[in-house]
Structure 1
Amino acid sequence: MSGKPVQGRMTTDGDREVVVFLIGMRVNNWRAVRSWLPVFLAMPRMIKELAGDPGSGMIGYRLLLGLPRGVAVLQYWDSKEKLFAYATDQSGEHRPAWVAFNRRAREGRDKVGFWHETYAVPAGSYESIYINMPSFGLGEALGAVPVGRRGERAAERMAA
């Protein structure tokens, strides 16, 4: 998180569906570098590809460090359709990384773990608050507005 804090209370500007995608890896055997390092290195290439293409559907992301034995990335997407389109794109970075991961998983057995979770969150089913914070999270992905525009309390923002 970088940037100058925005003074006051802000909330997410967006009354639309958003897709939250969590993806990560877990190193089960640190000595099996050939099993986990390619998995680790594949994610930055995919993030760079997605961040460089505004039409991809990924509208924001945050690297999550400090997980036991692993790392994860929190991603925000325009729609599940765009997320699925990227996952199956034969010409993108994801497909070869996924094929290579599956090959290594068969060869290396349980030396590296992989996981992801996808949440399609309907409009009006999320709320946020940022107090004296730089642009962050969903507010960074969708934009932030003063709290008063969407309601002073979380229950008001969820009902809007």
Structure 2
Amino acid sequence: MGRGVIEGRMTAADGGVTVFLIGMRINGFRHLRSWWPVFRAMPRMLRELSRDGESGMLGHRLFFGGPRLICVVQYWSSHEKLLAYASAPDREHRPAWAEFNRRARSARGRVGIWHETYVVPAGAHEEMYVDMPPFGLGAATEVVPVGRRGDTARDRLSVARGR
């Protein structure tokens, strides 16, 4: 097996989680001033959050959707902690958001940003990792043998069982 691979069928530990997806789309590559500050802001925020064990961010993963789209999947212990970080005047997000809004007036559609937030209660998520290193929610929390939460997706989704 490869480095860090956990053999067998695993799933993430059950528990509530907030999943936050955020990204940017570069609409005009030649206009570096429009998108470069947005591109540089996210790593600073992720470093800040990763160093702060009380922030509520459990983990994150960066994805590229072709040359124009960059997406970060973040796992949070609660939506309250996510919202607290987003509005904290002494953290990286507020000044970055203010700077983006200032620049957006003159950017004229050259960079797009988006986010989606999902508050997922315990029993309302299911995941499967087979012969994988810790990944996704499993990496952000912990992986457990599938049998501990149920052998099938229906078993692991207590909402599917009507609980």
Q: TM-score range by the shorter chain?
A: over 0.9
Amino acid at match of 1:8: G
Amino acid at match of 2:100: F
Report the Cα distance in structure 1 between the residues aligned to 2:4 and 2:142, rounded to whole angstroms.
15
Q: Is the CA contact 1:22–1:72 (under 8 Å) kept in the aligned structure 2?
A: yes
> Identity of counterpart residues, as a percentage?
57
Deviations 1:23-65 (A, max 9, x none): 0001111111001000000000000000000110100100011
Q: Does 1:8 align with 2:8?
A: yes
Shift of residue 66 of structure 1?
2.7
Amino acid at match of 1:96: P
Report the Cα distance in structure 1 between the residues aligned to 2:139 and 2:17, rounded to whole angstroms.
13
Q: Does 1:99 align with 2:98?
A: yes
Partner SS for 1:56: coil
TM-score by length of 2: 0.93
Deviation >2 Å, runs of 4+: none
TM-score by length of 1: 0.95
Quote the residue 2:45 is aligned against: 46
Q: Which runs of 5+ in 2 are unaligned?
A: none
Q: Does 1:126 align with 2:125?
A: yes
Partner SS for 1:54: coil
Partner SS for 1:36: helix
Q: Is the CA contact 1:46–1:93 (under 8 Å) kept in the aligned structure 2?
A: yes
Q: Which runs of 5+ in 1 are unaligned?
A: none
Shift of residue 5 of structure 1?
0.5
Quote the residue 1:90 is aligned against: 89
Quote the residue 1:75 is aligned against: 74
Shift of residue 4 of structure 1?
1.5
